[in-house]
Structure 1
Amino acid sequence: MSHSNYRRKYSLVASKQMVGIFISVWVKQELQSKCRVSNVKVCSVACGIMGYLGNKGSVAVSMLIESTSFCFVVAHLASGEKKGDEGRRNHQVSEIFKRTCFPKTPKDHYPHPSTILGHDQIFWFGDLNYRLYLQGSLARRLIVRQDWKALQQFDQLRMEREAGVFEGWKEGNIEFPPTYKYSWSNCNRYSGNFPSRSGEKKRTPAW
């Protein structure tokens, strides 16, 4: 779809950027002509270096379509494959839930939720940086076999969810190869396949 056609069919509701984290929410003009879109609010939470810089954290948009509340969250969490790095990511998730706030205003048309979990429909996207508890060579073999089910048994996010992080949330079916981390010089292979030749760090693929 060309940019001009896109702008004719969709209207920008809100956008927000914090360093490299960006969100934009668009609504079909057809829907907007039939349903009231209101109470649009944005919020950013910085929880990077020292817990307050914007290199890690989230940006979020809250809105109503008629009387149904929607919240869209984009997050970039702490990186790292070392033992304990998942704890840093879990802590940042907790901070995002705790510090994201959508204050009420006199212009609100309906009672509006002030927190993420207060919304009727919530969507969370982004680079969450959870890894696979698996040796890189074995992960690559399972990828070649396209055995996504076996890979998911070692998925860190899945395990952390079972332990209580994102409790009650649902993730879509994963029927595609891990998207982390492709080589900067060749998007058809994972980073570090030829570390001595390219100087790339060898990373275990992950979602």
Structure 2
Amino acid sequence: MKDGCSPPISLETKPQRKLHHGYKVFVSTWNVGGALPDADLRLDNWLDTRELYDVYVLGFQEAVPLTPLNVIRPTTNPLSRWNYLISAALNRSSSSSSSSSTSSSSSSSGQKIHPVKEGQAEEFFCVASKQMVGILLIVWLRGSLRKDLRHLSISAVGCGAMGFMGNKGAISVSFFLQKKSFCFVCCHLSSGGAAGDEQRRNRDAAKILSRTAFLRRRPRKILDHDRIILLGDLNYRVSLPVPTARSLVAKKEWAMLLQRDQLLAEMSGGILEGWSEGAIRFPPTYKYNPNSDEYYGCVPGSKGDNTRAPAWCDRILWRGKGLTQTRYDRYESKLSDHRPVRAVFVIPVHTDTWRTMPCGSQMRRQTLLSLISSSPSDHNQIRQSEGSVSSVTVYPSPFSNVEL
């Protein structure tokens, strides 16, 4: 019996598996040492905008000074500043055409929405943005991929002062791209270079993995996801006497230093066993003298801390099948005593291509997909990404009404 479609098609149509070209994901972690960015800070080189990627996952630590007042209730909003600068860098090539195309409308949050016309350069927009004291996690997405993103959820776990404050801990974001689940975890673990301090970092990592939970049935925990990337100031040091470590740094003997790297030890039989990391071919990322390329305490005649040696505190790890890392390096910036670390991953995605289906069956399938693509929401824990691809959020400048 016909259902109004022409021509009639068999009801036994099945989906065919097709390999997507692969998403290119840019990931970076940066401990900014409590520094607020100036309005003229350009992030193009850090974000490598000469080659635009599909997804940007950016983690910050110490985005505000970790004073007792800020730990209880941060007095500044670094999120708006960083998002404005990120938007400017990613959308710089098309900002002039977007601003002159049509009149803007205002959203309920006070941000401006500009329609994206056909033929304009593709724009990026923010799909997740969360702050916990000094930890920030920000995710930007290429506009054409918005239709592929579902079930976006955010969870924050503090394990700092008193065991639960947010000066240390992690923010995690979970979502689906096509049919695969992804989790990105931005961490700031306990500091300290004394013997035994690595055990406090191990406990922090264990708390983050066990306490982080997303308000849905599956995947609920970090390790339940198909593909996971962990980034941040993990604070693991080099287990060598400080004079020995500084001598090896002066000789640029990175391989010998890495033989005593605490994080690599934890990835081989410790709390982070099963995680992977790209080959480290760059100098230690911490600790530098202010506005200098010289390591703290390594300048002859300086009054440096005798318990602190250079180390690779800032790292990016991953686990799960199908993740291919094509880049792992550090970026040169004197904004803080850390150097940001960057990685690029290529992630293949299989999509279903459906043959022509009867209208009734197609409508039933679309209804089913719309039902299973919805997810519950909760205050400050869940952010749902659903909607049209035809608009992009434009961040107004937060610098005009604040003192820098």
**Secondary structure of residue in 2 paired with 1:138:** helix
**Secondary structure of residue in 1 paired with 2:275:** coil
Are residues 1:118 and 2:224 paired?
A: yes
Unaligned runs of 5+ in 2: 1-43, 45-84, 95-122, 313-404
Q: Which amino acid aligns with 1:128?
A: L
C-alpha contact (below 8 Å) 2:170/2:208 kept by paired residues: yes
Instruction: Name the counterpart of 1:178.
Output: 284
Instruction: Name the counterpart of 1:26.
Output: 140
Instruction: Name the counterpart of 1:6.
Output: 90
Are residues 1:193 and 2:307 paired?
A: no
- Structure 1 residues 195 and 87: alpha-carbon distance in aligned structure 2, compared to 1, 3 A threshold: farther
C-alpha contact (below 8 Å) 2:246/2:298 kept by paired residues: no
Q: In 2, distance between residues paired with 1:201 and 1:113? A: 44
**Secondary structure of residue in 2 paired with 1:162:** coil
Q: In 1, distance between residues paired with 2:134 and 2:265? A: 28
Instruction: Name the counterpart of 1:128.
Output: 234
Unaligned runs of 5+ in 1: 105-110
Q: In 2, distance between residues paired with 1:18 and 1:183? A: 27
- Structure 1 window deviating more from structure 2 (51-60 vs 155-164): it is 155-164
**Per-residue deviation at 1:112?**
3.4
Residue by residue over 1:137-181, the C-alpha shift from the partner in whole angstroms, topping out at 9 and shown as x without a partner, is 322332233322111101011112223211110011100110111
Q: In 2, distance between residues paired with 1:117 and 1:182? A: 34
Q: Which amino acid aligns with 1:201?
A: D
Larger Rg: 2
**Per-residue deviation at 1:90?**
0.4
Q: Which amino acid aligns with 1:90?
A: N
Instruction: Name the counterpart of 1:206.
Output: 311
Instruction: Name the counterpart of 2:271.
Output: 165
Are residues 1:77 and 2:183 paired?
A: no
- Structure 1 residues 42 and 138: alpha-carbon distance in aligned structure 2, compared to 1, 3 A threshold: same
**Secondary structure of residue in 2 paired with 1:83:** coil
**Per-residue deviation at 1:94?**
0.4
C-alpha contact (below 8 Å) 2:186/2:231 kept by paired residues: yes
TM norm structure 2: 0.46
Q: In 2, distance between residues paired with 1:98 and 1:165? A: 12
**Per-residue deviation at 1:6?**
1.3
- Structure 1 residues 52 and 196: alpha-carbon distance in aligned structure 2, compared to 1, 3 A threshold: farther
C-alpha contact (below 8 Å) 1:39/1:112 kept by paired residues: no
Instruction: Name the counterpart of 1:107.
Output: none
| Larger fraction in helix | 1
- Structure 1 residues 42 and 195: alpha-carbon distance in aligned structure 2, compared to 1, 3 A threshold: farther
C-alpha contact (below 8 Å) 1:195/1:201 kept by paired residues: no
Are residues 1:57 and 2:161 paired?
A: no
Percent of aligned pairs with the same amino acid: 44
**Secondary structure of residue in 2 paired with 1:139:** helix
**Secondary structure of residue in 2 paired with 1:134:** coil
- Structure 1 residues 166 and 153: alpha-carbon distance in aligned structure 2, compared to 1, 3 A threshold: same
Instruction: Name the counterpart of 2:248.
Output: 142
**Secondary structure of residue in 2 paired with 1:137:** helix
**Secondary structure of residue in 1 paired with 2:267:** helix
Q: Which structure has more RCO (C-alpha within 8 Å, separation ≥ 6)?
A: 2
Residue by residue over 1:33-72, the C-alpha shift from the partner in whole angstroms, topping out at 9 and shown as x without a partner, is xx51010000000000111111110001000001110000
Q: CA RMSD in A?
A: 2.0
C-alpha contact (below 8 Å) 1:69/1:112 kept by paired residues: no
**Per-residue deviation at 1:29?**
1.8
- Structure 1 residues 195 and 201: alpha-carbon distance in aligned structure 2, compared to 1, 3 A threshold: farther
Q: Which amino acid aligns with 1:166?
A: L
**Per-residue deviation at 1:126?**
0.5
**Secondary structure of residue in 1 paired with 2:283:** coil
